[in-house]
Amino acid sequence: MRILVVEDEVGLADTIRDGLGPAGFTVDVVHDGVNGYWAATETPYGAYDAIVLDIMLPGLSGYEICRRMRAREIWTPVLMLTAKDGEYDQADALDLGADDYLIKPFSFVVLVARLRALVRRGAPQRPSVLTAGDLSLDPAQRRVSRGTTPIAVTPREFALLEFMMRHSGHPVTKTAIVENVWDAHFTGDPNIVEVYIGYLRKKIDHPFGRAAIETVRGAGYRINADGG
Ligand code: CA
């Protein structure tokens, strides 16, 4: 099993490499984002069974590496290393196309177990494009469009729209949205959902004179299956 480790803390990268060897992994290490992206995308597809990817990297962030890999339909499983006080949280790592994450500092035993599980699971299938009428969302390319008009959305708006479109035609509660789009342990104000629904409406509905997102009194929100 061959693993690519992209980690700029040299000591930590060495520790990971030295520990994974006896566990049966062959490990390549790179210390910056540009070389990490190159190794992840230019090495023949399938050569790496998984990638351990730090988020805060010089050159190119792990966030950007993962997003660009998925946009190019490179589905090598990614385990992201996130710092507790980092710029991105764990939910963001998964939003961005990572398959799993570990918070630093992590236990080596847990790292090996997670990597084995990822390799066993293999590369995920390319997710198919979700549609509601002329509204479409492509999870692989991370693109949203109305007909042929592309719509720019933030990662959180994308995750919210994707969750609703996976339940197209059915109401989803604010609680379900918070748990799936934010975090099961989210302790902030659940009215954040209303705020983000407002953002989405301004992007996918209002400019087109449409109303795909319906408020279902007492139940939550629903994406109209015909796109509104
Ligand atoms: Ca780092």
Domain that holds residue 49: 2-121
Distance CA 204, CA 38 (A): 35
Q: Domain for residue 228, yes or no?
A: no
Provide the strand spans (E) within 159-225: 213-216, 220-223
Strand order from edge to edge, sheet including 143-146: 130-132, 135-138, 143-146, 149-151
My answer on whether 11 and 30 are in the same domain is: yes
In a domain, residue 185? The reply is yes
- How many domains does the chain divide into? 2
Quick check: 227 pLDDT over 80? yes
CATH number at residue 195: 1.10.10.10
Q: Rounded mean pLDDT of 63-90? A: 80
Q: Are 192 and 82 within one domain?
A: no
62 CA → ligand 1 middle, Å: 9
11 and 111 within one domain: yes
Same domain, 76 and 170: no
Please give the distance, rounded to the nearest whole angstrom, from the Cα atom of residue 10 to the centre of ligand 1. Answer: 10
Helix 192-200 with 155-166: angle, nearest 10 deg: 90
The answer, yes or no, to whether residue 170 has pLDDT greater than 70, is yes
Residues 112 and 11 reside in one and the same domain: yes
Instruction: Note whether 204 and 154 are same-domain residues.
Output: yes
Examine the fold and report which residue of 99, 121, 143 is the final residue of a domain before the chain moves on: 121
pLDDT one-digit tens code per residue, 92-114: 666 677 888 888 889 999 999 99
Q: Determine, yes or no, domain membership for 76.
A: yes
Distance 187 CA to ligand 1 centre (A): 27
CATH code: domain of residue 12:
3.40.50.2300
Cβ count near 171 (within 10 Å): 17
Q: Ligand 1 centroid vs 168 CA: distance in angstroms? A: 39
Inform me whether the pLDDT recorded for 177 exceeds 80: yes
Model confidence at 212: pLDDT above 80: yes
Instruction: Give 165 Cα–ligand 1 centroid separation in angstroms.
Output: 34
Predicted confidence (pLDDT) per residue in 9-51, tens digit: 999 999 999 999 888 899 999 999 999 999 999 887 778 999 9
Do 115 and 8 fall within a single domain? yes
Last residue of a domain, one of 121, 150, 185: 121
Q: Which of 181, 215, 175 lies closest to 198, judged by CA?
A: 215
The CA distance from 99 to 180, in Å, is: 15
